[in-house]
């Protein structure tokens, strides 16, 4: 347990540029204090000691604003930044090197027994206010955007954004876990696509209304040109439809 506490202490200096000295980190970082108390409560809980682990958990909640059930399993080098309002349920599992921001909930979706809380892999980043609910698997190196609500499994090396959470693959791109501004906006992309579709349809209507009436022979002579234009427009529409459908389907979730 001592080695885990030392790992939790060191990771703060790696991930928080505001961490200046060990005294400040030890006494002014509620995330570290909550983990310290939790690891002790978790050890007592594993021994089967009643009441005391939950009492320690409630004391930690009062002191830090972070509620971690003694039954939750927390890996090494986990950093809870700021931490106010973080809730981690009884059967939750958090992998090594996880980064959790304030307002995060790793909770359940009902009163069922057994495993009812999420499992987070290694190097997972959970943004401020995100909710990860139910007995679901979050893979390694996953980034969950602030305010997202994740209700289904997420494979490794993905970014999840939105309500409900939608997967955006970032294969081959290494992203700094603190760069929240680089999160993609899938809702904005689809809205832009729909606006472009509307503008295109309005332009086609205006062109049809502006066309003079021509004899059937002249119309036949330009039929090939019209067919080519229609094929290009159809292909463009299919690409846009695919982007919209992926959004509606959750892009894999």
Answer yes or no: is 154 within a domain.
yes
| One domain for residues 73 and 12 | yes
pLDDT of residue 213: 64
Answer yes or no: is 159 within a domain.
yes
What are phi and psi for residue 139, nearest 5 degrees? Answer: -70, 180
pLDDT of residue 201: 84
| One domain for residues 84 and 190 | no
Contact partners, residue 164, CB within 8 Å, separation at least 6 = 149, 150, 151, 152, 250, 253
Task: Note the pLDDT tens digit of each residue in 21-77.
Answer: 888 888 989 999 999 999 999 999 999 999 999 999 999 999 999 999 999 999 999
Answer yes or no: is 131 within a domain.
yes
Question: The CATH number of the domain where 145 resides is what?
Answer: 2.160.10.10
Answer yes or no: is 146 within a domain.
yes
| One domain for residues 6 and 65 | yes
Query: What is the domain extent for residue 10?
Result: 2-182
Please write down the long-range contacts of 2-9, taking CB distance under 8 Å and 24 or more positions apart: 3/76, 4/39, 4/76, 5/35, 5/36, 5/39, 7/76, 7/77, 8/32, 8/35, 8/36, 8/76, 8/77, 8/78, 8/79
Banded model confidence at residue 18, pLDDT cuts 50, 70, 90 = confident
Task: Note the pLDDT tens digit of each residue in 194-238.
Answer: 777 788 888 888 888 888 765 554 455 555 555 545 555 565 666
Residue ending a domain, choose from 182, 207, 224 = 182
What are phi and psi for residue 147, nearest 5 degrees? Answer: 80, 0
Q: Is the pLDDT of residue 252 over 50?
A: no
Residue ending a domain, choose from 142, 160, 182 = 182
| One domain for residues 175 and 201 | no
| One domain for residues 150 and 220 | no
Q: Is the pLDDT of residue 86 over 60?
A: yes
Mean pLDDT value of segment 185-202: 74
Q: Is the pLDDT of residue 253 over 50?
A: no
Q: Is the pLDDT of residue 176 over 80?
A: no
Structural domains in the chain (count) = 2
Q: What is the pTM of this model?
A: 0.72
| One domain for residues 139 and 226 | no
Answer yes or no: is 40 within a domain.
yes
Q: Is the pLDDT of residue 189 over 90?
A: no
Answer yes or no: is 24 within a domain.
yes
Answer yes or no: is 65 within a domain.
yes
Q: Is the pLDDT of residue 242 over 80?
A: no
pLDDT of residue 163: 82
| One domain for residues 153 and 190 | no
| One domain for residues 163 and 240 | no
pLDDT of residue 217: 46
| One domain for residues 237 and 143 | no
For the chain, the straight-line distance linking the first and the last C-alpha, in angstroms and rounded, comes to: 36
Answer yes or no: is 253 within a domain.
no
| One domain for residues 108 and 155 | yes
Q: Is the pLDDT of residue 183 over 70?
A: no
| One domain for residues 117 and 211 | no
| One domain for residues 148 and 222 | no
Task: Note the pLDDT tens digit of each residue in 101-113.
Answer: 999 999 988 777 7
Residue ending a domain, choose from 133, 155, 182 = 182
């Amino acid at each position: 347990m001592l080695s885990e506490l030392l790992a939790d202490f060191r990771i703060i200096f790696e991930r928080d540029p505001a961490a200046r000295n060990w005294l400040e980190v030890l006494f002014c970082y509620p995330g570290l204090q909550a983990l310290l108390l939790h690891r002790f409560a978790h050890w007592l809980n594993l021994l089967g000691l009643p009441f005391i682990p939950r009492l320690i958990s409630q004391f930690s909640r009062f002191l830090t604003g972070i509620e971690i059930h003694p039954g939750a399993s927390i890996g090494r080098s986990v950093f809870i930044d700021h931490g106010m309002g973080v809730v981690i349920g009884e059967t939750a599992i958090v992998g090594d090197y996880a980064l959790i921001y304030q307002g995060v909930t790793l909770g359940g979706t009902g009163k069922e027994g057994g495993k009812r809380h999420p499992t987070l892999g290694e190097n997972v980043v959970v943004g401020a206010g995100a909710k990860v609910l139910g007995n679901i698997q979050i893979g390694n190196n996953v980034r969950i955007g602030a305010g997202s609500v994740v209700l289904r499994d997420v494979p490794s090396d993905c970014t999840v954004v939105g309500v409900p959470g939608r997967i955006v693959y970032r294969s081959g791109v290494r992203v700094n876990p603190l760069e929240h501004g680089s999160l993609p906006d899938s809702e904005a992309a689809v809205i832009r696509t729909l606006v472009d579709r509307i503008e295109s349809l309005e332009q086609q209507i205006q062109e049809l209304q502006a066309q003079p009436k021509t004899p059937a022979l002249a119309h036949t002579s330009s039929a090939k040109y019209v067919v080519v234009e229609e094929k290009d427009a159809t292909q463009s529409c299919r690409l846009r439809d695919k982007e919209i459908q992926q959004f509606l389907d959750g892009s894999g979730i």
